[in-house]
Amino acid sequence: MATFRQRALNEAAMHATGRYYAEEGPVSAYFGQNVLDLDKMRGYMSQQAYEAVLASVKFGAKLDRSVSNEIASGMKAWAIEKGATHYTHLFQPLTDSTAEKHEAFISFKDGKAFEKFNGSALVQQEPDASSFPNGGLRNTFEARGYSAWDPSSPVFIMDGTLCIPSVFVSYTGEALDTKAPNLKSLHALSVAAVKVANLFDDNVKAVNVNLGIEQEYFLVDESLYNARPDLMLTGRTVIGHTSAKDQQLEDHYFGAIPSRVSSFMKDFETEAYKLGILLQTRHNEVAPNQFECAPVFCEATKAIDQNMMLMIIMQKVAEKHHLKVIFHEKPFDGVNGSGKHCNWSLVTDTGVNLLSPGKTPTKNLQFLSFYAAVLRAVHRHHYLLMTSVATLSNSYRLGGNEAPPAVMSVFSGSTLYGVFQSIMNMKDMKESVKSDLESIKIVNAIPEIFPDNTDRNRTSPFAFTGNRFEFRAVGSSQNVASAVYVVNSVVAESLNEFRASVDELVAAGEEQSAAVMAVVRRFITEAKDIMFEGNGYSKEWELESEARGLKAVRNVPEAYEVYHEDKTVQLFDSLGVLAPNEVEARFEILNETYVKKLQIEARIIGDICLNHVIPASVKYQNILIENIKGIKDIFGGEYMNFCSSEIETLKKISTYINNISADVDALVEARKKANRIEDIGERAKVYSYEVKSMMEKVRFNADNLEMLIDDEMWPLPKYRELLFF
């Protein structure tokens, strides 16, 4: 066997099972010990300072800088007690990851060392960070970038550093991250949702978004990972023939967790618990070596920050176990990809879930109002919502192997769908209308709607699951904020229009409950084309969705053009979420990222084929040639009767080698052609069509060679080894 592959397999076989982060006692004994939450803050600052933080966290009040020094001093005292030596503003640049620049607490004066951390350092930092994607919002020679503390998410300690969740903005104030627009969208949504909630309860003063983020991932042995240049550099296997056995038997799904994996899970859960991440679920997913973990729901900003921290923790802990965590949406061809299912709901400051059906007519009407507003929002901006999860890596996943299709639809369940049909069929809102369920009289006879009264639909990108919507199309490597602020924004716009429509009818003399019901009916009717209860994978739905005017994301760079549409720019600008130049910047960054990632993939597939696949194939080709020559020397003119299969194999190998060589040359030329295009949007489109299609041709030939070359000579770990360690 090829030396590198054999060594990797030998090392993988030696990797043992063990625990490295075990804690004694129950989880409750150490849960949140590395987080400075509100309760702990009481012991490190005055009541005045504590109340200032509390007002900022609970009500979004601007933090008074007059108390910032005291707050910083309290944070420093707590952090030093926990062994921290540095602090950092942890922010989320437009890379789907986190960024941090560590500063030491240590300072010097009069030859003496002491720890220092003041209010100005807490509230704002200037990390520069000029190399992050900015879409033209700032020039490299104008490098100032500011990070500012986000009090809504608690500070914590990781690896001896006090981490301060922050936003990241340019010198002139434009958002250079995903957190800032998300915070703005949450504010806009709260304002809009309160207006509608006040139709039913005047006590509601704020509405929060709750998120539950399910995280799927693959595990690969570290040695095998290091023997695959494509996995190391792109997160996926750009070549590789499917294994004879993968997920066909579905025997891995919810199966007994392997001991080595279980130890890894327990260790990263322990570290997550210390950071206050309340992980509740772990299990095997469908594909071999694919797994999932899920936390308890919490406020959106906190949930997103914790998910980003969880990904870091998992990768750090995996190193101890000689494992690599793969968050790429489609690391292995032919088996399930990985998503990050976002369970999204609206909760008032009075503790009411606005998407939970109630047992009384008034509660039902409130639920239907918010549900109708969400439906209309999703319908109106369905292409933008699907584009918010459209990345190169997620494009490999969507539409197959249990991932949602690339066209948006909302699954409501048979009971709710029946209610909506009845509402839409009302000819006169003052008359009762017979439906398949029962008589409906404006409000009072709306049938009781229970949570979880229907099955789930895995093929729906945006499914209702009893008291929340599950956005299943988000990719496993994505920062959820990039999709969530789009959801928040479109729903905020819809809720604003809902309340305005109700007020208009009431001003015209309509009774309020009747006015609300009339708007519910109009919104549901306008959004009826987004509702679909069937199989999203079927050819029938593909044709039906097109007939309904629903656009599928067939090509990622083409989908990005939605950011140039007037209604998209107007949506974000009117809500104060993104200014027009910030929307344009995201268009530029998305296309630039797409090009760079595909460029890396194209380079690595060329490198692997030229430096690994072809040399191994030529070696085996020479063995066959020598074999055929030997048979001919022995049997003379009859040799064809004894080596016809070898000759056929030799012909196939020669053909595939020639094809790869020619296709890699063509791939290089396609890249050069694309790189000459100045407009980034057009360049991305050429990459998506010409470069990507050439890569598929190269892979076809390489994967066929893998099945012909002597297994002992194949240089790269195969799928059966990567997926079954």
The CATH number of the domain where 126 resides is what?
Answer: 3.10.20.70
Cβ neighbourhood burial of 256 (10 Å; 0-12, 13-18, 19+)? exposed
| Non-local CB neighbours of 149 within 8 Å, separated by 6+ positions | 63, 89, 122, 123, 124, 164, 165, 166
Does residue 437 share a domain with residue 398? Answer: yes
Residue 488: predicted pLDDT: 98
Residue 305: predicted pLDDT: 97
Least confident of 359-368, 555-564, 580-589: 359-368
Boundary (domain end) residue, out of 304, 338, 372:
338
Does residue 570 share a domain with residue 672? Answer: no
| Non-local CB neighbours of 416 within 8 Å, separated by 6+ positions | 371, 449, 454, 464
Boundary (domain end) residue, out of 312, 338, 364:
338
Cβ neighbourhood burial of 549 (10 Å; 0-12, 13-18, 19+)? exposed
Does residue 63 share a domain with residue 80? Answer: yes
Residue 431: predicted pLDDT: 42
> Is position 193 within any domain?
yes
How many domains are contained in the chain? 4
Least confident of 240-249, 425-434, 454-463, 498-507: 425-434
Contact 591, 133 (CB under 8 A): no
Does residue 328 share a domain with residue 371? Answer: no
Residue 404: predicted pLDDT: 86
Residue 441: predicted pLDDT: 42
The answer to whether residue 128 scores a pLDDT higher than 80 is no
pTM over 0.75: yes
The CATH code of the domain that includes 281 is 3.30.590.10
Tens digit of each residue's pLDDT (9 = 90 or more) over 162-193: 999 999 998 888 999 999 999 999 999 999 99
Tell which wins on pLDDT, 445 or 521: 521
Measured CA distances, 389 to 231, 406, 560 (Å) = 22, 10, 11
Residue 139: predicted pLDDT: 66
Boundary (domain end) residue, out of 311, 338, 365:
338
The mean per-residue pLDDT over the stretch 363-378 comes to: 93
Length of the chain: 725
> Is position 455 within any domain?
yes
User: What mean pLDDT value characterizes the chain?
Assistant: 91
Q: How confident is the model at residue 445 (pLDDT cuts 50, 70, 90)?
A: very low
Residue 299: predicted pLDDT: 95
> Is position 507 within any domain?
yes
Residue 360: predicted pLDDT: 59
SS3 162: strand
> Is position 343 within any domain?
no
Q: How confident is the model at residue 433 (pLDDT cuts 50, 70, 90)?
A: very low
Residue 140: predicted pLDDT: 57
Tens digit of each residue's pLDDT (9 = 90 or more) over 529-577: 999 998 888 889 999 999 999 999 999 999 999 999 999 999 999 999 9
Cβ neighbourhood burial of 455 (10 Å; 0-12, 13-18, 19+)? exposed
> Is position 585 within any domain?
no
Q: How confident is the model at residue 137 (pLDDT cuts 50, 70, 90)?
A: confident
Does residue 41 share a domain with residue 146? Answer: yes
Residue 402: predicted pLDDT: 67
> Is position 584 within any domain?
no
Least confident of 233-247, 424-438, 695-709: 424-438
Does residue 72 share a domain with residue 150? Answer: yes
How big is the CA angle at 505 (ends 503 and 510), to the nearest 5 degrees? Answer: 115
Measured CA distances, 413 to 209, 416, 418 (Å) = 23, 6, 8
Residues 677, 674: Cα–Cα separation, whole Å: 6
Contact 596, 95 (CB under 8 A): no
Q: What percent of the chain has pLDDT over 70?
A: 93
Q: How confident is the model at residue 442 (pLDDT cuts 50, 70, 90)?
A: very low
Does residue 46 share a domain with residue 144? Answer: yes
Residue 566: predicted pLDDT: 97
The answer to whether residue 362 scores a pLDDT higher than 70 is no
The mean per-residue pLDDT over the stretch 216-237 comes to: 97
Would strands 112-115 and 145-149 be described as parallel, antiparallel, or unpaired? unpaired
Nearest CA to 464 out of 348, 378, 550, 523 is that of 378
By residue range, what is the domain housing residue 639?
A: 592-722
Least confident of 63-67, 226-230, 430-434: 430-434
> Is position 344 within any domain?
no
Tens digit of each residue's pLDDT (9 = 90 or more) over 1-50: 667 899 999 999 999 899 999 998 999 999 999 999 999 999 999 999 99
Does residue 449 share a domain with residue 385? Answer: yes
> Is position 583 within any domain?
no
Residue 171: predicted pLDDT: 82
Residue 440: predicted pLDDT: 37
Contact 480, 492 (CB under 8 A): no
Does residue 528 share a domain with residue 571? Answer: yes
Does residue 555 share a domain with residue 635? Answer: no
Does residue 166 share a domain with residue 44? Answer: yes
Does residue 467 share a domain with residue 384? Answer: yes
Residue 492: predicted pLDDT: 98
Residue 129: predicted pLDDT: 64
Query: Would you list the DSSP string of 336-372?
Result: ---B--EEEEEEETTS-BTTS--SSHHHHHHHHHHHH
